[in-house]
Structure 1
């Protein structure tokens, strides 16, 4: 039921920065979405940010670590603001965002030792002192005085280009980039005017800011993105960070602080700095709130602020002045619009899967990065049809949601007693329960749209025919691949799926063989170990969870080792046999071919799924399209249904086609049904 938002909602209050008024207190931070073309934010990049502006956000910041100098080579898809050719592109970008009443700012940086000499033009990287960052692995030379003068000016020139293009402001990225490397006594061993005391270590960054202010004038908004502390093992104390902030505030060169907490120079540090579902909500907010009490400038903050309740708390309690919901806006760019219209329950949740950090799209919002061909808004269909969907896993639920939004009459059959399919199992894995939000949101939307699901129904040709469908979509998913056609004796093994489905907690020694390297096997091993088993993880890959994102994998591996799981990489399962009351599994080293046999109480296999396609195959010949469709039209966002054909059209999606992931199933459902 429609309920208008409270006028006094603190999230909808404006914020004033000099002459700029932000229409609300929600923003999206700069991040490396990797949509740039030749280092420029072209059409795809702009559409991605414009969608947030359409959705009502007050400020969108872009250009996660936009480079200002040629020796700051892009190592994670960053933009380049090194010459004036960027100005017309930025001007177009600013116009697109401004037309929706949203402000737009860019982040500037020099990566220093956080880059690599192999990046782009193979120029030597620079740092305050000789330095090698663990993540990017390249040695940087000690920066020379002429480099310092050059780079400070390049910061000023890049800021001027942003101002000339009509952007509302910029921020300088400090933390562990070149400016932050000067700040840190761990990375800065200099004995000249740029090393030693806090004042000296701040000198280079202040010189860069002075150039930015000189070329942009007093009214242009300039801020810094800095940490308030690093936690255990950091190279700089919390007291030094506060002193740095006060120095910058007293300089008069900056207008806001964008505050974070943690480290980004190690794999684990970056995973905690940009946390996913393995970390609690708003983990950095207490540190930022304490820091804010000691400075006077407006403060911004973002880190796993996934929901409006947390965001509202941060603003209403005065913990920060502007709250970032960056990944939440990747899941749903229309958060503010839905809030202001009293439709908060319709917001698609960010579940913290970090899929966006590795694949450039949300795990369950397929429009992200595809705005041109797959717009977020689902328009009503000109001709209403009867759509029958078999399977209520995430693909089937998405198909039902989109078809219902189009105005079609939707019937959904599900063989199980509840919806969710494999996501129900995945959510049982250690630290993965938030995945259930993908299912819950779609069930809520189907309730709003009046779509019912018939459960405990193994729909066959008769049940489907009784619905007199125009469109039939098979979303029956898959069944666990036991590898019986590849591995002699594999029938003696269990599958991870079966153990999760039965709620079993195996005792004794367990060998978990992961043949595909997804996050499921990695977390499956941790889950079984925490349930009491002594688990050895065997994989033909060089490591566990090879397909996990760079943000997700480090904390997953920490949990894996903390649970006591042992790792046996580079080993291919070749046969399974009985050994008295135990199981003997034989593995071959993928490099040498040498074999070894391990005897265990239980062998568990994780090798994806085999399509459950019996219903599809039974219907294929009777369908109007024989299951075929025009792939080019589908990927272009166009309809693949022939309106003049007689009989029903048949399609299958998700794991009913091939073993893949949640995003693949949602994408197929969305682009098929939004054009029916």
Structure 2
């Protein structure tokens, strides 16, 4: 596929970009580390070398009360200029262009991080912050506008090629615009024009401060996804006002952090919000940037070709593969390590106060020290198990020059990734498997499928070292009746070795059980495309469609503990559980198992026995490490234990790939 539109240069103000793919803003938190700014600079430089047309930094606070704390990027003092210059110099050495995002969190700012009370247009507490903000007075509003302008000037002096004003995702400017968060009745609130005034004044003052030629991008909210918030008509009017204020491009954000609608997780279809950018593009004449769940440059090419926008912003795809643009331009699409929108190592880490990384690319944040270097001594290495841990270990070992043989007792690679990819909304895991198949073939890794490695054979074949990535064995809890014929293990269901009835009780309610439940209540009798056809020709009505799409299966998830979905990420757990409840899955917690009988599972709730009716009982109660080969090889060969074979618990591809990457660099 020729990327004619992607590769067409584009002008933003006086700045010419070599292509139309932007690396969007992300908070990655590297600044918290001892060498944080240097690490952040190398992180951005690697993406510049990979072909990003423009990089937008994570937000840099224009005032201390609107930031994320002193250890993060800030731009409210002159002393910040030289710190930021480290980033621009590194990116420019890599022939890249970079914009600083001017940021104020408003009521989303955490007092624990800043030491200051959060501020907002109105004293309304955000549901995701335990601190109530205080209301800005008129003089403080003027000071805040001036701070945006001063921050832009500092960005200019630090060598940035542009600035982006953060006006979406429910941060301060967005809070002024929305009637949900702005209840003022003065010059800064009330009707739409007064609510819009703060954002427009920020844009005007920034433009005045940096001069007519310096590029100013405004990230505006195209869709708040908050009930009774800014209307689409107001959004388009705001876009036109920003153009009149001198903004050079509009980057369209989707949703607030407190929204109950998923916007960037794997369950969101690719490009689901491009239509919003298209509406803005039709309202203005300056370049418009589309974003959210666009993870393939070929998809970006289609979006641009169809005229939905002028540029495409990808954020997390640059975490997964810093070379995504360069590889795609060269036609090496199968070599791209695609972002699967799992959120597990990026957003979940940030919201837990950790440094961001990437499930499929743990080199993120370790660009310099984890650079692939040839092995000092080339060895013949066996990797046993082709799950995520083994796949990454084999890839890195081969990349470094070792002779690698990968053993897998199943007839295909992937391990328990083959379970995950079956779950509705998790098809992106197919991309990870495609990436590994391509890389192992490119690197000449010998793959022996359907082969269970044995200790004597490994020793006899002359392997110098062995990596054990044999995964886990499902755990069978001590419940009377577990031997009955209608009791099956979770792996048997995923491998389609067990027939499942219409009344199902799942023993366990962790991440595996949630995935199983989604799989079991998903009904493919009628596809979305077929439903659209039937409705458009009035063959059936919506009520009939809902009835056809409804699952006939009733699923119960059972847990001794209190919480369902433990092991799921903070940013996706709420949406996963909401979907399950919507599909009628019942979650029974803090129960005691009494026995399994032909008619179902007898449990005790508050010392009262009750029956959970089931014609199929599925055991999804965790797992234990499969270490038999490890013990058989100990004292015979150097062995390395990684992934589930090292530690079971919930299925954890993030830790598995990380450990595979580590051992691949250690041998």
Q: Same fold (TM over 0.5)?
A: yes
- Compute the displacement of 1:305 (Å): 0.7
Match of 2:396?
Answer: 402
Alpha-carbon distance in 2 for matches of 1:543, 1:76: 35
Q: Which of 573, 577, 580 is the matching residue for 1:557?
A: 577
Q: Is the 1:302–1:323 contact (alpha carbons within 8 Å) kept by the matching residues of 2?
A: yes
Match of 1:461?
Answer: 455
Task: Give the 3 Å change call, closer, same or farther, for CA 234–45 of structure 1 in structure 2.
Answer: farther
Relative to structure 2, which stretch is displaced further, 460-469 or 598-607?
598-607
Helix, strand or coil at the partner of 2:357: coil
1:207 aligned onto 2:218: no
TM-score by length of 2: 0.87
Deviations, residues 43-80 of structure 1 (Å, cap 9, x unaligned): 2322222221121211111123x322233253999633
Task: Give the 3 Å change call, closer, same or farther, for CA 326–580 of structure 1 in structure 2.
Answer: closer
1:115 aligned onto 2:106: no
Alpha-carbon distance in 2 for matches of 1:135, 1:462: 56
Match of 1:475?
Answer: 469
Match of 2:285?
Answer: 296
Relative to structure 2, which stretch is displaced further, 13-22 or 600-609?
600-609
1:526 aligned onto 2:521: no
Task: Give the 3 Å change call, closer, same or farther, for CA 555–529 of structure 1 in structure 2.
Answer: same
Q: Is the 1:391–1:413 contact (alpha carbons within 8 Å) kept by the matching residues of 2?
A: yes
1:136 aligned onto 2:126: no
Match of 2:367?
Answer: 371
1:535 aligned onto 2:528: no
- Compute the displacement of 1:265 (Å): 4.6
Alpha-carbon distance in 2 for matches of 1:72, 1:232: 22
- Compute the displacement of 1:671 (Å): 1.9
Q: Which of 164, 178, 185 is the matching residue for 1:171?
A: 164
- Compute the displacement of 1:392 (Å): 1.6
TM-score by length of 1: 0.86
Task: Give the 3 Å change call, closer, same or farther, for CA 357–85 of structure 1 in structure 2.
Answer: same
Task: Give the 3 Å change call, closer, same or farther, for CA 37–413 of structure 1 in structure 2.
Answer: closer
Helix, strand or coil at the partner of 1:473: strand
Match of 2:654?
Answer: 663
1:582 aligned onto 2:603: no
Q: Is the 2:239–2:280 contact (alpha carbons within 8 Å) kept by the matching residues of 1?
A: no
Query: What runs of 5+ residues in structure 1 fail to find an aligned partner?
Result: 624-648
- Compute the displacement of 1:248 (Å): 1.5
Alpha-carbon distance in 1 for matches of 2:561, 2:249: 46
Match of 1:238?
Answer: 232
Task: Give the 3 Å change call, closer, same or farther, for CA 184–651 of structure 1 in structure 2.
Answer: same
Alpha-carbon distance in 1 for matches of 2:568, 2:374: 37
* Aligned residues: CA RMSD: 2.6
Match of 1:358?
Answer: 348
Q: Is the 1:305–1:325 contact (alpha carbons within 8 Å) kept by the matching residues of 2?
A: yes
Q: Is the 2:466–2:640 contact (alpha carbons within 8 Å) kept by the matching residues of 1?
A: yes
Match of 1:43?
Answer: 38
1:566 aligned onto 2:559: no
Task: Give the 3 Å change call, closer, same or farther, for CA 668–116 of structure 1 in structure 2.
Answer: closer
Task: Give the 3 Å change call, closer, same or farther, for CA 205–470 of structure 1 in structure 2.
Answer: same
- Compute the displacement of 1:198 (Å): 2.9
Alpha-carbon distance in 2 for matches of 1:130, 1:13: 47
- Compute the displacement of 1:341 (Å): 3.5
Match of 1:439?
Answer: 433
Q: Is the 1:496–1:605 contact (alpha carbons within 8 Å) kept by the matching residues of 2?
A: yes
- Compute the displacement of 1:11 (Å): 1.6
Query: What runs of 5+ residues in structure 2 fail to find an aligned partner?
Result: 350-355, 523-550
Task: Give the 3 Å change call, closer, same or farther, for CA 528–505 of structure 1 in structure 2.
Answer: farther
Alpha-carbon distance in 2 for matches of 1:311, 1:290: 17
Match of 1:256?
Answer: 249
Alpha-carbon distance in 2 for matches of 1:17, 1:474: 52
Alpha-carbon distance in 1 for matches of 2:314, 2:110: 30
Alpha-carbon distance in 1 for matches of 2:560, 2:72: 33
Deviations, residues 460-484 of structure 1 (Å, cap 9, x unaligned): 1233134211121111111112234
Helix, strand or coil at the partner of 1:476: coil
Q: Is the 2:203–2:242 contact (alpha carbons within 8 Å) kept by the matching residues of 1?
A: no
Alpha-carbon distance in 2 for matches of 1:502, 1:75: 50
Q: Is the 1:526–1:560 contact (alpha carbons within 8 Å) kept by the matching residues of 2?
A: yes
Match of 1:157?
Answer: 150
Deviations, residues 319-340 of structure 1 (Å, cap 9, x unaligned): 2222112111111001122233
After superposition, residues 84-99 of structure 1 pair within 5 angstroms as 84-99=78-93
